[in-house]
Amino acid sequence: MAHSTLRSRLGCWLALMGMALWLTACRPLTIPMPTAAVPGTAPALAPGPVAGAAGLDDPLYPTLGNGGYDVLHYDIDLTVDVAGNTLNGATTISARATQALSAFNLDFSGLTIGQVTVNGAPARYRRQASELTITPVQPVQADSLLTVTVAYQGQPQPMRDPGVPFLPLGWQRFGDDIAVVSEPSGAMTWFPSNNHPLDKATFTMRLTVPKPYQAAANGVLSDTQDNGSSTTYVWQMTDPMATYLATVHIGRYEVITAAGPDGVVRRDYFPLGTPASVKASFAPIPQMMQFMRQRIGPYPFAAYGVALLPVPTGWALETQTLSTFGAGAGGAAWDEGEVMHELAHEWFGNSVSPATWQDVWLNEGFATYFQWLWQEQNEGSAAFNATVQEVYASMLAQDVGSPLPQQPPDLFTDATYQRGAWTLHALRLTVGDVVFFKILRAYYQRFAGSHASTADFIATAVEVSGQPAVETLLRDWLTNPKLPAPPAPSAQTPVIAL
Ligand code: ARG
Ligand code: ZN
């Protein structure tokens, strides 16, 4: 019984939504390997200021993100009218220019801009779809620090993204509450940003909401100010975060706090009236954190918990340090595998972020495999083997293709989740448990707080295992339109004693 829920957490609701299965293009895919910088190619003279690029050439979302600067910190200061779902405030971006800039872009869609300043001086701006082009009075020097403030107000409009056809993205209402779910593109509905996981930054959010509402966001609640008829909640995310993981939840909550392992702050936000049976779904989180710690390393951030929406959903999202879950339908608990899945994303997806959206299996394949590993620890290897075999049979029956998406609708599919997880299982069968977990730990340690590509993972696996054949195996699992045969288990595959 546990298997079927584990097997197709996505398959189920995709099927429910009447989605067709996505067939992968039948040509072999290539994975670029990291290229070393070529010495001696720097120009003799520093180039004059030019406009920063309007995108980062992501293979799936070429216009997401912008070139020419690196964001260090977002300070998002918003006063929210909960009844009208409108906001009024400003986002201040601290960035470092990576080139001399005559102009640069932010990603921002909808809302009405009041003013834009660059280093304190009003700047000209132009908007075209979700590209906001800012022209400062003085060009920005290469390597200089840049402070950009955008003041804005209005009612955020959730957007449609072809990668997530079943859900509007961004700032939106869920029942009487307001919440943000953005993966992959929705952050631009509520704050201007460099909207791509390649450019992670720390965040401060100051959220002023009328009483009796509360506002939760990523990280640690550092201050609560009573303004009479409203309350200001100040949230600090002091580790780098990708824009798609930024979240806000506004509603009336029962807040349950506790001390977690290693000094991690535990806080869960449950809408008032959440049944005890639903809250109980999240009780195993401390043991799950311990499980991840033993296999990969300590939890990466200062806080962890969940924020529940007041309406049922078939999905959850790993919003950094504060995973978003729907209410349990009819008081039903969440599946333990889902709870494990979102927690595992804090290491794989949130701390180590995908370099491009084509690398999303590094999020979903890993989080899914940790679901299976949790089952292996708790129910034993027979139950685990039944799950992996069942998933394999179902992938075979559906002719599931490459886990590297070629277009946005391929992002959240059985290919990235299940074949992504099976890619890790195939690696484990080939190298054995000891080397497999060594590879995962090395990969995590190398890219924690930053981002990694598929080529980075393959290079780490080859280097740590010392087995060049691992590259062929991983490329087959990741790029072959046909599902590879499961590898024969290596001689040294006993489950490791931790
Ligand atoms: N990363 C999410 C997960 O835990 C994907 C859920 C789909 N929703 C979304 N907004 N992308 O599987
Ligand atoms: Zn996931």
- Complete domains list, the chain, with CATH: 2-27+353-479 (1.10.390.10), 50-344 (2.60.40.1730)
pLDDT (0 to 100) of residue 9: 44
**Residue 327 neighbours by CB distance under 10 Å:** 22
Task: Determine the atom of ligand 1 nearest the C-alpha atom of 364.
Answer: 12
- What is the token pair recorded at 160? 């449609």
Mark the ranges of the chain whose per-residue pLDDT is less than 70. 1-45, 491-498
User: Which of helix, strand or coil describes residue 277?
Assistant: helix
- Which helix (H) or strand (E) segment holds residue 344: the answer is helix 336-347
- Per-residue DSSP letter, 169: B
Residue with the nearest Cα to atom 4 of ligand 1? 317
Which strands sit side by side in the sheet containing 220-226, from one edge to the other? Answer: 121-122, 112-118, 145-154, 86-97, 69-81, 201-210, 230-241, 220-226
The per-residue pLDDT for 270 is 98
Separation of 245 CA from ligand 2 center, angstroms?
Answer: 12
Ligand 1 contact, 412 CB (< 6 A):
yes
Beta bridge partners of 115: 151
Q: What is the pLDDT of residue 293?
A: 98
467 — phi, psi (to 5°)?
A: -120, 100
Q: What's the CA-to-centroid distance between 367 and ligand 2, angstroms?
A: 6
Nearest to 460 by CA among 494, 436, 484: 436
- Asked whether 361 lines ligand 1 (CB < 6 A), one says no
Question: Cis omega (within 30 of 0) on the bond before 261?
Answer: no
So what's the pLDDT on residue 314? 87
In 169-328, the DSSP E strands lie at: 170-174, 177-181, 201-210, 214-217, 220-226, 230-241, 248-251, 253-259, 265-271, 303-312, 316-317, 322-327
14 Cβ closer than 6 Å to some ligand 1 atom: no
CA gap 469, 472 in Å, rounded: 5
Index of the ligand 1 atom closest to the CA of residue 363: 1
Other Cβ atoms closer than 10 A to 280:
12
**CA-closest residue to ligand 1 atom 3:** 317
Coil, strand or helix at 21: coil
Quote the ligand 2 centre to 215 CA distance (angstroms).
24
Angle at 316 (CA atoms; ends 315, 322), nearest 5 degrees:
165
**Which residue reads 């290596």 in tokens?**
490
Percentage, residues of the chain above pLDDT 70: 89
CB neighbours of residue 85 within 10 Å: 14
Task: Report the distance separating Cα 172 and Cα 190, nearest Å.
Answer: 10
Long-range contacts, 481-486 (Cβ 8 Å, 24+): 481/24, 481/25, 481/26, 481/27, 481/28, 481/401, 481/402, 482/399, 483/392, 483/395, 483/396, 483/399, 483/400, 483/419, 484/426, 486/392, 486/422, 486/425, 486/426, 486/429
CA distance 90 to 204: 12
pLDDT value of residue 271:
97
Whole-number Å distance between alpha carbons of 356 and 455: 11
pLDDT of the residue at 299:
98
Give the Cα separation of 154 and 112 in Å (integer): 6
